[in-house]
Amino acid sequence: MCVVCFVKALVHVFKIYLTAHYTYNFRSWPVDFRWDEVHASSRRGSSHRALTCTAAAAGVWLLQDAALREIEPGRPLHGSRSQLQCLLQQIRELPSQLASYVLAHSLGRWLVYPGSMFLMTRALLPLLQQGQERLVERYHGRRAKLVARDGNEIDTMFMDRRQQPGSQDHGLHLVICCEGNAGFYEMGCLSAPLEAGYSVLGWNHPGFGGSTGEPFPQHDANAMDVVVKYALHRLHFPPTHVVIYGWSIGGFTATWATMTYPELGALVLDATFDDLVPLALKVMPQSWKGLVVRTVREHFNLNVAEQLCGYPGPVLLLRRTLDDVVSTSDHLRPLPSGDVEGNRGNELLLSLLQHRYPAVMASEGLAIVTRWLRAGTVAQEAAFYARYRVDDDWCLAQLRSYRARCKKEQKDEEAWGPHGLAFPWLVGQGLSPRRRRQLALFLARKHLKNVEATHCSPLEPEDFQLPWRL
C-alpha cells in the first residue's frame, strides 16, 4: 500500500513539474505557425484585406479613419492651408498628443487591459496552470505558438472534436474564442462552446499569459490575423465552419476578424459594446473628457459597431440583463434586475439593423426596436412581441421573396458575397407602418438574445447558439 501511495505522489509531483515547465518555458517553445506561411496563391480569391494592405507597416489593416476624423473636425484638408499653418497646427496639438500617449501607455493600458499586468498574471498563475492541465488532459488540447506579423508570439490552445462531432455535428464547427480584458483561454469564455461540443481554438491577447507584446488594438488585430490563418490553413477548417465568438472587449477582435475575413461562417458577440468612448467617459472624471476621447480614439479605438457592419454573415448578440460593466446607466451597482436600457449592446443591435435593413429601420422600425430593447425579461419580451401580433411566417416570406426577386433581377456578381445577397437590403419599402414595425421586431429578436447573467458569469453551454440564418 505504501508503494502505491508513493507512486501516486510521485505522479502528482511530476504533473506539477510538467505544468510549471509547460508555462515558464513557453518562450523557448518552437514556433508552430507564422503569419507569412500563407501566400497569396493559396487564398483562392479571398477578399482578406490585411494581406494586401501595404499602408499599415506595423501590421494588419485597421478601420479607424472615420473615428479619428470625429475628434478633429476642424482639421483642414491637404492643400487648403499653407504648410506653415499646418506646421503651427501640429505644434499646438503636440502637448495634447503627448499627454494622450503618456496616458495610453500607463494608466490607460492597465484600465483597458488589466489582464496584461504582471501582478495579475502572477496572482492567477496557479489557476492558469490548472486550466491548462484541464484542457490538455480532459479535452486533449494542443498548445501552439503562433508568430504574428509584428513579431509577437501568441499562445493558443486547440481542442479538436472532428473525430467525434456529436449528434448535431457541433464538432465539425470551430469556435475561435476572443477573451475579455482580464480573460485568459485557460479560464475564459471558451468553456461554453467547449462543453456544448464544438471544436474550440482559444488564444491569449498580446501580453496575456504566454503571449508576448502589449494589447493595443493594432497588436490585437495582428494576433487575430495569425489565429484565423492558423485555423484555416494549418487546422484546415473550411471558412464556412469557422465561428468567431467574442466576449466583452473581445468583440473588437471578433468583429475585426469577420470584417476582414467575410467568408467566415458566423459571429457571436457576448456582453460586448458598440464603442469604448461612452464606457471610458463613465469611469473617468468629467474634466478629463477631451483627453479621454483623444486617447481612446488614437490609441484604443475599439470601434466594434463600425466593424460589425462590415461583416455580411449571420450574427447573434447575447445581452446579459444583469450586466453593469458595459452599461452607461446612472444606477449604482449592482443594476436592478431587468434594467437593460443603458446596455451598450442595444446600440450595437441598432447599428447593425440600420445598416442591413435601412428601409425597415426608418422611423417606425427604429422607434419600436428601441422600445423593445427596454424589455429585460423573457416575459416582458414575449408580451411586447405578442402585443404587436408579429407573424413570423409572414416576415420570413417577405425576406425570402425580396432575396429571390433580387437574385432574379440583378446580374451584377458584386451584389452577391460569400453569404448571398450583400447588404444593405431595401426590403420593407412600400409596407405600411404596422408591417414595418412587425418586420423590425422580427429581425431584432432574431439577432439579439437576452441572458440572465452578470458580465463575468460563465455562459451556460445551452446559451451558446449559432446565429439565425435566413
Whether 323 is catalytic: yes
Catalytic residue among 323, 327, 339, 447: 323
Catalytic residue among 46, 199, 248, 327: 248
Q: 3-state SS string over 1-66?
A: CHHHHHHHHHHHHHHHHHHHHHHHCHHHCCCCEEHHHCCHHHCCCCCCCCCCCCCCCCCCCCCCHH
Q: Report the alpha-carbon distance of residue 436 to residue 457 in Å, rounded.
A: 36
Taking the CA atoms of the chain, what radius of gyration do you get in angstroms?
A: 24
Whether 248 is catalytic: yes
Catalytic residue among 173, 219, 299, 419: 419
Question: Contact at 8 Å (CB) between 194 and 258?
Answer: no
Whether 419 is catalytic: yes
Amino acid symbol at 423: F
96's grid cell: 495634447
Counting runs of H as helices and runs of E as strands, what totals does the chain give?
16, 11
Amino acid symbol at 425: W
Helix or strand run (H / E) with residue 157: strand 153-159
Nearest residue to 446 via CA among 465, 421, 460, 467: 467
* Residues tagged active-site: 248, 323, 419
